[in-house]
Copies of this chain bind each other. A is one copy, B any other.
Amino acid sequence: MNRETAPPDALTFWSFVDYAVRKADQELPAVNTDAMRMVLTLNRATSMVIYDLESTVHRPRGLTWPGFRVIFALWLAGPMEAKTTAEISGMSRAALSALLNTLERDGLIVRARASHDRRALQLSLTEEGYGAILGGFRAHNLRESAWAESLEPAEQTELVRLLNKLMAGSTDAKAKFRN
């Protein structure tokens, strides 16, 4: 890797992945450039979609993206233990704990001790929380649809299949999971 090489004239968000892969391939021995490209691209595509959804749909309605995920899970799967909520919405128990402070303060959810186990926490939506998701989900799904229209139906299916296969392989990859 030549530390003095100047960047190309127009290094932009769009050209960076190609540039990075080419440069790493030239300068480093034994780089798996396909894997590098896959992870870089996956990261970027997701960031774009999430940023769009959060900034156009949820923040204007008073929810952050993580807040939406939790309310969404509670809306779909009904009252449940906090441990389950954390798992299905893909966050650590500690992160959920902090997030619940905001959601509870805003009157969207209610915390209650579980009857069968006084360590456990039972979460449920308030009327206001129910209303928040009702209002937001339509707009959310419309923007999801706009993104999905970039791909043919068969391509959408294939993308989902590939992502699921990638996730399923995490066991073989000995990937680390959240708490």
Chain A interfacial positions (CB closer than 8 Å to B): 1, 3-8, 11-13, 16, 19-20, 23-24, 28, 31-32, 34-39, 41-53, 55-56, 72-73, 75-80, 84, 87-90, 125, 130, 137, 141-151, 153, 155-160, 162-170, 172-178
Contact = CB atoms under 8 A, between A and B. Distances in A.
Copies in the complex: 2
B150 A172 contact: yes
A76 B72 CA distance: 40
A128 to B, nearest CB: 13
Given A43-B46, A51-B178, A162-B158, A148 B5 contact: no
Dominant SS at the A interface?
helix
Contacts of A73: 16, 20
A35 B146 CA distance: 8
B150 A173 contact: yes
Given A159-B159, A175-B48, A176-B56, A165 B151 contact: yes
A78 B5 contact: yes
